[in-house]
Amino acid sequence: MTQTPPDLTPRLARRPKSFPAPEFPPRKPKLFARTPPAVFSALLGLLGLGLAARRGLGWLGLEAGLAEAALGAILAVFCFALAALAVKVARRPAVVLEDMRVLPGRAGYATASMGVMASAAVLAPYAPALAAGVLGLGLALHLALAALWIKVWLGLPAEGRVVTPAWHLSFVGFIVGAVSAVSMGFEGVAQGILWAVMPVAAAIWGVSLAQLIARIPPAPLRPMLAIHLAPAALFATVAHGLGQDLLAYSFASFGAVIFASLLLSARWLTASGFSPLWGSFTFPLASYAAALISLGGHWAEAGMVVLLLAAALIPMIGVRVVKMWATGALAAKTNAAEA
């Protein structure tokens, strides 16, 4: 009588799955293939700090040589980062859409094109024609990126389509171009941008306030609330440059409310510890300092105090973010796509 062999199916089912052996040596990504767009938030803040220092030294009647030297160095780093991102995008253009599906990525692309517009203000005293071309390039890039973000947004699930402070960067960030346009005498351009984006900023402020009342944002995302200060500061700067002082003082006062709220809640905003999103503190702070200084008088005195705070905080954040980029940690922490 033959004996039935035992059923080995359960034992085989319990056998662990096999996985392919890891690559050796490990594969290295191509040069600049994973450049993190998030680095541009901090670089934009450094550019803004240099421009605010230029304005502050001018108000004091001092030579701005130190500020100009710093601006030159920051502009060089910014151009290097922009070239690295361009290499990544040229290698596989679809990587832009992948980056923009995550919050740090889309904020990073927006601040990159805003940085191009800010670079025009850096160059304006030295090469007006070049600055005008850079301004046009920055505005065109920002418009293209805003259109791409709308395309990505339409394809996101419902939870990914929530309004965030970063919407200011994508849809109100054109106002940085208006600041540069005023400095170059393109008042019509500045006026058009100002009146086009003010209603957009007002809508984002309103929706964000309602969200903040309804629920407390998670600790890692709280630093982005500082972005709400930037439009108020930039509107004040542009309005003053256009001779619309009532509008300028109104936005400066509104900015004071936001700035005071941020100061009072600083511990709450930073509860999760340092992260790349701390770059959100940099450009709004520098922009508000520059706005107050531009108004002169007691406003400028307050602006110099804000500038001192910015000078202490922004380089610290900028250096840490750039170091994270150099080590590859920034790409990993912000889920940067690889080309």
Q: What is the pLDDT of residues 162-178, one digit of tens each?
A: 999 999 999 999 999 99
Could you tell me if residue 6 is inside a domain? no
3: pLDDT strictly greater than 70: no
Average pLDDT, integer, range 71-94: 97
* Number of domains the chain is built from: 1
Q: How far apart are CA 103 and CA 13, in angstroms?
A: 41
Q: What is the pLDDT of residues 146-158, one digit of tens each?
A: 999 999 999 999 8
CB atoms within 10 A of CB 321: 28
Q: Residue 203: pLDDT band by 50, 70, 90 thresholds?
A: very high
Res 159: pLDDT? 83
Res 4: pLDDT? 53
319: pLDDT strictly greater than 90: yes
Exposure class string for 262-294: b at 16+ Cβ within 10 A, else e: beeeeeebeeeeebbbbbbbbbbbbbbbbbbbb
Residue count of the chain: 339
Cβ-in-10-Å burial (0-12, 13-18, 19+) of 256 comes to: middle
For 206, the domain range is 35-327
Q: Of 156, 277, 273, 181, nearest to 234 (Cα)?
A: 181
Q: Fill in the amino acid letter for 67.
A: A
291: pLDDT strictly greater than 70: yes
19: pLDDT strictly greater than 60: no
Average pLDDT, integer, range 278-296: 98
For residue 106, the domain's CATH number is 1.50.10.150
Tokens of 224: 């982005």
Average pLDDT, integer, range 74-95: 97
23: pLDDT strictly greater than 70: no
Cβ-Cβ contacts under 8 Å for 232 (sequence gap 6 or more): 251, 252, 254, 255, 258, 288, 291
Phi, psi of 94 (to 5 degrees): -65, -10
pTM: 0.91
Q: What is the pLDDT of residues 258-268, one digit of tens each?
A: 999 999 999 99
Q: Of 47, 48, 33, nearest to 285 (Cα)?
A: 48
Top pLDDT among 26 and 87 is at: 87
Cβ-Cβ contacts under 8 Å for 145 (sequence gap 6 or more): 109, 110, 113, 170
Could you tell me if residue 10 is inside a domain? no
Could you tell me if residue 335 is inside a domain? no
Could you tell me if residue 215 is inside a domain? yes
Q: Of 140, 43, 35, 40, nearest to 96 (Cα)?
A: 35
Res 6: pLDDT? 53
Could you tell me if residue 104 is inside a domain? yes
Res 225: pLDDT? 98
Q: What is the pLDDT of residues 177-192, one digit of tens each?
A: 999 999 999 999 999 9
| Mean of pLDDT over the chain | 93
Q: How far apart are CA 26 and CA 40, in angstroms?
A: 29
Tokens of 195: 């009146």
Could you tell me if residue 2 is inside a domain? no
Tokens of 298: 């007691």
Q: What is the pLDDT of residues 33-51, one digit of tens each?
A: 999 999 999 999 999 999 9
197: pLDDT strictly greater than 90: yes
Q: How far apart are CA 111 and CA 134, in angstroms?
A: 15
Could you tell me if residue 17 is inside a domain? no
Phi, psi of 163 (to 5 degrees): -70, 135
Q: How far apart are CA 65 and CA 264, in angstroms?
A: 35
Res 30: pLDDT? 85
Res 12: pLDDT? 44
Average pLDDT, integer, range 193-208: 98
Could you tell me if residue 7 is inside a domain? no
8: pLDDT strictly greater than 60: no
